[in-house]
Chains A and B, each alone.
Chain A
Amino acid sequence: MQYDAVVIGVSAGGMNAMKIIFSLLPKDFGTPIIIVQHISPRSDNQWIDLLNDKSNLTIKEADEKEKIEKGTVYIAPANYHLLIEMNKTFSLTIDERVNFARPSIDILFESAAEAYKNKLIGVVLTGSNHDGAKGIKRIKECGGLVIIQDPKTAESAYMPTSAIAAVKPDYILSLEEITDLLIKIDKQKD
C-alpha cells in the first residue's frame, strides 16, 4: 500500500515530540506531512522557523490555497482551522473552536480523510484534550492507516488514550518507533 500524505495531531507536549520526529526524518522523506499543533491564538510562527532550522525537511506554515507538495511539512497557523480540499490544496477558516481548539485536529483529519481516502496515514501524539479522536476514527473508516503514540511514552497521555478508545489503531508506538515506521513506509513508495 502506498500513502500520499501523513496528518499529525498533537497538543500538550508537542514541541518536544516534534523536535524528536523532525530531527530523525531524513532529507529524502517524500510523503507530505500536515500537522495541527494546538497553540495560543496569539502565537507568532517563530517556533516553526526554529523547528525548520533543526530539520532536514522544509517545515512551513500552511497558506490558504497552497498546493500540497512532496518533501514538505505544513503546520496549521495559530487561530485558524486548516482543511484539505479534494484537489489537495489548503483552506483556512476562522469557524468556531472545535474541542476548545482552533486549529482543531478533528477538522484537519476529517477533511484529509475525504481528500486522501485510503492513501492517508493519521497520527495522534501527546496531548491533554480529546481533539483528534473523532477525526482519527474517520480516517480509519475511509481506509487510512492509524498510528497512535503509546500513552505510556507520551508527555500527556489523555489525547492518545482518547484516540485509542475511539478507534482500533494499526499501531501503538513510541515517537522513535513511529518515525522509523514512517520512514519504512515512505521508502516503499520508490
Chain B
Amino acid sequence: MQSHLAAIVEAIYQKYGYDFRQYSEAHIKRRIMNRMAMSGLEDVSQMPSKILNDEAFASRLLQDLSITVTEMFRDPGFYRSLRENVIPILKTYPFIKIWHAGCSTGEEAYSMAIIMQEEGLYDRTTIYATDFNQRALNSAKEGIFSNKLMKEYTANYQLSGGKESFSDYYTSNYDHVIMNQSLKKNIVWANHNLVTDSVFAEVHLILCRNVLIYFERELQNKTQKLFYDSLINGGILCLGAKEGLHFTDLYEKYFELDKKQRIFKKKY
C-alpha cells in the first residue's frame, strides 16, 4: 500500500481496532479521498493525526469504509437456486443454524427469514446475522426500510420464486415500512469482524456475499478457512456472484452445488 494510505489504515487499526490493512487498495483509496474532499483537510498527510485525535471524524471515515449497499433478494437467481437446491438439504436437519456474515443493514437476512418461513422451517431455524458496523446492525435490528424500495424488492422476491404477497411481510407507515415481528424473532444480530474475530458458531449454512471482493487474496484465504471451520460436514457456503474458491486451498474440499450462483457444499 502507498505510504500515506498505509499510515491512515494503520492509525485506524491502532486507535480503533478495525483492520483495513489487507483491503483492496484502490477501493480504500477512493473512499479515503472522498472523505478527504468533504473534510476540508488540505493534504492527505494530515489524516492520520485527525483520525487519532478526532473521534467524530474517525467514526465518519469508518462508515465510509464499511459498504452498506444491499437489497432484499439481491440477485433473485441466487435465491431461486437456494430454494431449489439448498432448502431440501436443510429440511433434513432437526434444527438449522444459518450464519449471514457481513449482513450490513439486514435486507438479505430478512430475505432468508422469509424463505425459511415459507418453507415451514423457520421455527427450527436460527439466523446469526453479523457485521462489524454497529450502526448498520442497529438499523438491521429495527427492520425499518424505505417504502420507495419495496417495488424493486417485490420484483426481486417474485423473480426469486416467491409466491406469496410480499406486502404481507411488512407494515407500511408513510415513507417507511417495518418488517413483521414474526420474521425478526429467530434472527440474532451480533457484532463480528471477519478480519479480526475467530469462528463464530458451528452452522449448517453460511451466506457471505460481496464481502470478500474487498479483501486482498491472503485475507480472502484466511476468511475462507474461517468459513470452512464454521461449517458442519455437508454444510453449505454461498458467495457473491463474482466470488469463488478457485484461488484457495479449500477448492477441493467443496462440491459445486450451483456453479453459476456460487453455492458450494462442504465434503464429508
Measured CB to CB, the residues of A under 8 A from B are 63-65, 77, 79-80, 83-86, 91-96, 107, 110-111, 114-115
User: Which of B2, B30, B69, B242 is close to A92, meaning CB atoms less than 8 Å apart?
Assistant: B242
Set of chain A residues within 8 Å of B214, measured between Cβ atoms: 91, 93
Which partner residue on chain B sits nearest A110 by CB separation?
A: B30
A65 touches B25 (CB 8 A): no
Is there contact, CB below 8 Å, between A85 and B26? yes
Q: Quote the shortest CB–CB distance from A156 to chain B (angstroms).
A: 25
Q: Cβ of B192 < 8 Å from any Cβ of A?
A: no
Q: 23 pairs across A/B with beta carbons < 8 Å? A: A63-B242, A64-B243, A65-B247, A77-B241, A80-B242, A83-B24, A83-B27, A86-B25, A86-B26, A91-B26, A91-B27, A91-B214, A92-B213, A93-B24, A94-B67, A94-B69, A94-B213, A95-B27, A95-B69, A110-B30, A111-B29, A114-B29, A115-B26
- One of B26, B31, B241 near A84 (C-beta < 8 A): B26
Indicate the size class of the contact surface on chain B. 10 to 19
* CB nearest to B240 among chain A residues: A94
Instruction: Closest B residue to A64 by CB, please name it.
Output: B213
Which residues B221-262 have CB closer than 8 A to chain A? 241-243, 247
Q: Smallest CB–CB gap between A110 and chain B, Å?
A: 7
On whether the beta carbons of A95 and B67 are closer than 8 Å, the reply is yes
Could you say which of B27, B217, B241, B247 has the most chain A C-beta atoms within 10 Å of its C-beta? Answer: B27
Q: Is B111 among interface residues, defined by CB-CB distance under 8 A?
A: no
- Per the 8 Å Cβ criterion, residues 107-144 of B in contact with A are none
B158 within 8 A of A: no
B210 at the interface (CB under 8 A from A): yes
Residues of B within 8 A of A91 (CB): 24, 26-27, 213-214
4 further A-B contacts with Cβ under 8 Å, apart from A80-B242, A95-B27, A95-B30, are A83-B27, A86-B26, A93-B27, A95-B69
> Which of A85, A86, A93, A111 is in CB contact (< 8 Å) with B67?
A93
